[in-house]
Amino acid sequence: MQRKRLSGTLPTMVNGIAVALQRAMLGLVFTAAVSACAGRIVPELPKQVTGGMRFTLSAPEAKTVCVVGSFNGWVKGVLPMKRASERDLWVAEAPLQSGEHTFMYLVNDNEWVVPPLAEDFVTDGFGQTNGVVVVR
């Protein structure tokens, strides 16, 4: 599979649909914010934590969300996210090996969502754009 690196830019098109339109249709709100309160969870780039990576996503209308990627064989439901008590955020932590990993979010078991925040983005050769995280 040959991948095209998009290097630091949020893709503007996914399967012929503008990302902004796709987000509006899904009722998803993606924001990055800095919290003034210690311990408050806000959407952020996937963050390296002890033993792996923490993923956060704001998806107020979602019933279920999971992280699917190269690290779990792209199998649905292996890494379910849990709704945090604040601001309709979904959070999951994954034990990841060192290296580069591609991922997407799966909302309500049928909507593939390009990560709004990631270290990088790549095309997968199948018409999708995946987020990239690097575990150091």
The one-digit pLDDT tens for each residue of the chain (136 residues) are 445 555 444 444 333 333 333 333 333 333 333 223 334 445 678 999 988 899 999 988 899 999 999 999 999 999 999 998 766 799 999 999 999 999 999 999 999 999 988 999 999 888 889 999 999 8
Does residue 3 form part of some domain?
A: no
Look at residue 40 in the predicted model and tell me its pLDDT. 44
What total number of domains does the chain contain? Answer: 1
Supply the pTM of this predicted model: 0.69
Does residue 1 form part of some domain?
A: no
Does residue 25 form part of some domain?
A: yes
Does residue 57 form part of some domain?
A: yes
Q: Which domain holds residue 109?
A: 9-135
Does residue 43 form part of some domain?
A: yes
Asked if residue 66 lies in contact with residue 24, where contact means CB atoms within 8 angstroms, the answer is no
Does residue 4 form part of some domain?
A: no
CA distance 61 to 107: 9
**Residue type for 62, please?**
A
Does residue 53 form part of some domain?
A: yes
| C-alpha radius of gyration, the chain, whole number | 14
Look at residue 68 in the predicted model and tell me its pLDDT. 97
Does residue 52 form part of some domain?
A: yes
* Both structure tokens of 51: 């033993």
Distance in Å from the first CA to the final CA of the chain: 24
Look at residue 88 in the predicted model and tell me its pLDDT. 79
Look at residue 90 in the predicted model and tell me its pLDDT. 94
Look at residue 45 in the predicted model and tell me its pLDDT. 86
CATH number, domain with residue 14: 2.60.40.10
